Amino acid sequence: MSTPFDEEAFRTEPEARALVSRIHELLREELRGEPVSLMEVCGTHTVAISRAGIRSLMPDGLKLLSGPGCPVCVTPLSEIDRAIGASTLPDVILTTFGDMMRVPGSQSTLEKERAEGADVRILYSPLQAIEIAEESPESQIVFVGVGFETTSPTIAATVVEAARRGIGNLSVFPFFKTVPRALDMLARVPGRPLDGYICPGHVSAIIGSGAYEPIAREHNMPCVVTGFEPLDILAGIVMLLEQAASVRAGGNAKVETQYSRAVTREGNLAAQAVIADVFQECDAEWREIGTIPMSGHEFSERYRAFDARDRIDVDVPAPAGPSGCICGEIMLGQKLPTDCPLFATRCTPREAVGPCMVSTEGACAAFYKYDRETTEVP
C-alpha cells in the first residue's frame, strides 16, 4: 500500500526537473545571476544533498554550504576524551549511538578501547540503557548524550523513566547542543555573506518553526524548514531563493515551512515539556567554533543525579587535536571541504584527520563519498 509519506513519492523525476528549472530561472532572472549562498545546519541534510547529487544540478553562483549540523563533529575533543576515559574504567558499561565509535579522541577511540576489552555497547534507543542497568546492577551504565533537539528529548524521556523505576546505576554525559542559538551566532560571523538557512526538519518537528522567527527578524535572514527527500530539498531551495530575491529588493525575511507534513509552528509540546523538566540551558563549546552562550543542555536540579560528569571520575588528557584541519572554517560556512589541502589526500574516511571526515554526516565525508567527481579537487 502506498502512502503519502513514501520516500518514492518525494523522489519523482518530472517534479525534480521542474524544481531545478525554477531554481535556475530564479537565479538568472530575479537574482540577476548574482551569487547566493545557502546553508544547511543538519548532518542528515548534508548527506541527503550529496547523495541526491543536488550540488551538481545547481546553477553557477549558487553555493550550498554545510554548517555545524553534525552533532558528532561539534562535540569538543575534551568531551570525547572524557567518554573514552570512562569506557576504560572497570565497573563502567559505556553505551552510545554508533556514530561516536570511530571519532578520534586525543589518544584513542571508543572502537579501539572496545577492541582492547572495554565494555562499550552501541544502542539503537537510549531506552536500552535502562534494560542494561537492570540486568547489571553491579555496573555503572554511562550513556554518551550527544545530539540536537531531535535526540535530546529521547534521552530526557529515558532519564524520566529511569527515575520512575528507581534506577541508581545509570548516568548520562550531557553533551547536547541546541540549533537556533548556533544559527543566531552564524548569522553574525563577519565576512561571510549568507542568504538563507535550510533549517533542519526533524529538530524543527520538536522545537517548531516558530523557534527561528527571532533569527529571521533580527538578521533579516530567510529561513525555510525543509524535509529530507530530493523534492523537499529542491523546493526548500526554491523558497529560499524567492525570499532572497525579495530581501535584496528591500523586503523582510520570514520563516516558511516546506516540510509541513511533519513540522508545525509550535512543534511537539509534549517533547518540549520533557526537555524543560529534565534539562536546563547552559553555555556550550562547539568543536572548532568556540563557546556559544546558552546553546547546550545540562541536567536540571531535579535530575542532577544523572549527570555522569559528577559520578564518573576520569583523568582527561590535555586535548591534542588534529593539525591542518579546517573543519571549523567549513562549519562556519567560510570554506568547502575541497578547499582543505588534506582533503582526499592525507584525509580520507579510512584515515580521517578531522571530525568532519570521521562522521558519515560530516561535510568532508559526504563530499568524499558523493561529490568528488562533480567538484574540483585540488
Partner 1 sequence: MCLAVPGRIIEIDGQNAKVDFGGVTREANLMLMEDAAVGEYVLIHAGFAIQRLNAEEAEETLRLYGELARALEKDDERKK
Binding site for ligand SF4 (CB under 6 A): 325-327, 330, 337, 340, 342-343, 347, 353-354, 356-357, 364
* Cell, residue 42: 543538519
Does 206 sit near partner 1 (CB under 8 A)?
yes
- Residue 151 site contact among ligand SF4, partner 1, none (CB < 5 to 8 Å, cut-off depends on kind): partner 1
Stretch that binds partner 1, among 113-121, 212-220, 254-262, 364-372 (CB under 8 A): 254-262
Tell me how far, at minimum, the Cβ of 120 lies from ligand SF4, in Å: 23
Q: Which of 262, 282, 294, 316 is the binder for partner 1 (CB under 8 A)?
A: 262
Q: Toward partner 1, which CB reaches closer, 230 or 342?
A: 230
Best CA proximity match to 267, nearest among 184, 183, 177, 201:
201
d(CA 23, CA 237): 7
Nearer to ligand SF4, 61 or 322 (CB): 322
By CB under 8 A, is residue 19 in contact with partner 1? yes
Number of residues in contact with partner 1 under rule CB under 8 A: 57
Q: How far is the CB of 326 from ligand SF4 (least distance, A)?
A: 4
Phi and psi at 203, nearest 5°, equal: -55, -40
Residue 99 is a binding residue for partner 1 (CB under 8 A): yes
Interface with partner 1 (CB under 8 A), residue from 81, 113, 256, 361 = 361
Residue 316, C-alpha cell as written in the block: 582527561
Q: Does residue 211 touch partner 1 according to CB under 8 A? A: no
Task: Kindly state whether residue 147 participates in binding partner 1, applying the rule CB under 8 A.
Answer: yes
CB atoms within 10 A of CB 70: 30
- Which one of residues 185, 231, 356, 363 is an interface residue with partner 1 (CB under 8 A)? 231
Q: Does 154 bind partner 1 (CB under 8 A)?
A: yes
Nearer to partner 1 by Cβ, of 98 and 168: the residue is: 98
76-84, 125-133, 292-300, 304-312 -> range binding partner 1 (CB under 8 A): 125-133
Which CB sits closer to partner 1, 94 or 100? 100
Question: Quick one: 19 or 336, whose CB is closer to partner 1?
Answer: 19
Binding site for partner 1 (CB under 8 A): 3-6, 9-10, 12, 14-15, 17-19, 21-22, 42-44, 70-72, 97, 99, 124-128, 146-148, 150-151, 153-154, 157, 160-161, 200-203, 205-206, 231, 235, 258, 260-263, 267-271, 274, 361
